[in-house]
């Protein structure tokens, strides 16, 4: 049982999903406002609702960045170290999340971050598929709006603002970047574990450098990996990981 995910990542994912939903609602409302005549009760209600949604989006974004995400990542790191060094930095360690044991703290650390990269790169790839569909759809909408001479500049501006904002173009770019970084880190880690003498200082230093690089990559990307993608791919990736452990002679 992944106690860290249930306790710390679940509220993070929930608020992140709600923020995305509120963004699309607010973007739709901003377009509707262009076609409603000012001065009537419906326009005033719509305008007030739009402002409220923007405030909620602002608050949710900062709660995610400044509280929920750092808290979840901090607990995940503590759980990582607890498993690798067989200590108790958390009150209850996750069960079944890390699947490498009895290799010693440094090999455990190397195996755990390799497993993280293995799962993360495939989850990011699955998320990228959905993001590409959204980016293509909005690109077509924006392109058609620009080509259509009857489209008002205000509408084009609103569509462009939504497209260039954090939840569409920026999100897609960050997912693609994360996918590429996870793939690169996985390949580097695999090579280090396969070709290095595992009990010397150079190996230990390289492993911990790559662990820090993995954590900083997640922090820079600022994307919460999809639980739906994880659940869909978990069994396949777990079987692949067991094969990888056999190849690398890891318990």
Task: Render pLDDT for 7-33 as a digit per residue (tens, 0 to 9).
Answer: 999 999 999 999 999 999 999 998 888
User: What's the rounded Cα separation, in Å, for the pair 57 and 53?
Assistant: 6
- Which of the four pLDDT bands, split at 50, 70 and 90, describes residue 148? confident
Mean pLDDT across 123-148 = 92
pTM of the entire structure?
A: 0.91
**Mean residue pLDDT across the chain:** 91
Is the separation of the CB atoms in 1 and 96 below 8 Å? yes
Given the structure tokens 């923020």, which residue do they identify?
19
For residue 152, is pLDDT > 80?
yes
Q: Which two tokens stand for residue 47?
A: 């305008």
Give the pLDDT confidence of 44-89 residue by residue, as tens digits.
Answer: 999 999 999 999 999 999 999 999 999 999 999 999 999 999 898 9
- Which of the four pLDDT bands, split at 50, 70 and 90, describes residue 231? very high
Q: Comparing C-alpha atoms, which of 90, 109, 89 is closest to residue 100?
A: 109
- Which of the four pLDDT bands, split at 50, 70 and 90, describes residue 1? low
Given the structure tokens 């209850």, which residue do they identify?
92
Q: Comparing C-alpha atoms, which of 85, 65, 78, 113 is closest to residue 7?
A: 78
Mean pLDDT across 109-119 = 95
> How far is the first Cα of the chain from the last one, in angstroms, to the nearest whole number?
20
Residue 175 CA: distances (Å) to CA of 119, 168, 204, 207, 229: 14, 11, 30, 24, 13
Mean pLDDT across 31-44 = 86
pLDDT at 39: 78
Mean pLDDT across 131-140 = 93
Is residue 40 classed exposed, middle or buried when 0-12, 13-18 and 19+ CB atoms within 10 A define those classes? Answer: exposed
Select the more confidently predicted residue: 235 or 152: 235
Apex CA 228: angle with CA 97 and CA 11, to 5°?
75
User: What's the rounded Cα separation, in Å, for the pair 7 and 13?
Assistant: 11
Q: Which two tokens stand for residue 140?
A: 């077509």
User: What's the rounded Cα separation, in Å, for the pair 63 and 15?
Assistant: 9
For residue 198, is pLDDT > 90?
no
For residue 196, is pLDDT > 80?
no
Q: Which two tokens stand for residue 207?
A: 């492993």
For residue 94, is pLDDT > 70?
yes
User: What's the rounded Cα separation, in Å, for the pair 16 and 11?
Assistant: 8
């Amino acid at each position: 049982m992944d106690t860290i995910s249930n306790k710390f990542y679940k509220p993070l994912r929930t608020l992140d999903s709600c923020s995305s939903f509120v963004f699309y609602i607010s973007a739709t409302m901003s377009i509707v406002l262009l076609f409603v005549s000012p001065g009537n009760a419906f326009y005033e209600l719509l305008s007030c609702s739009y402002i409220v949604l923007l405030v909620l989006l602002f608050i949710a974004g900062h709660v995610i960045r400044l509280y929920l995400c750092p808290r979840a990542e901090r607990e995940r790191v503590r759980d990582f170290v607890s498993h690798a060094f067989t200590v108790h930095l958390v009150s209850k360690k996750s069960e079944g999340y890390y699947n490498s044991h009895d290799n010693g703290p440094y090999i455990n650390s190397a195996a755990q971050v390799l497993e993280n990269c293995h799962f993360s790169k495939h989850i990011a790839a699955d998320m990228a598929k959905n993001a590409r569909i959204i980016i293509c759809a909005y690109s077509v909408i924006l392109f058609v709006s620009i080509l259509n001479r009857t489209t008002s500049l205000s509408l084009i501006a609103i569509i462009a603002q939504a497209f260039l904002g954090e939840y569409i173009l920026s999100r897609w770019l960050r997912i693609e970047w994360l996918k590429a970084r996870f793939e690169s880190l996985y390949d580097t880690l695999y090579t280090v574990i396969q070709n290095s003498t595992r009990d010397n200082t150079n190996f230990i230093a390289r492993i911990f450098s790559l662990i820090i690089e993995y954590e900083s990559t997640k922090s820079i990307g600022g994307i919460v990996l999809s639980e739906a993608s994880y659940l869909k791919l978990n069994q396949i990736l777990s079987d692949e990981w067991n094969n990888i452990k056999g190849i690398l002679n890891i318990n």
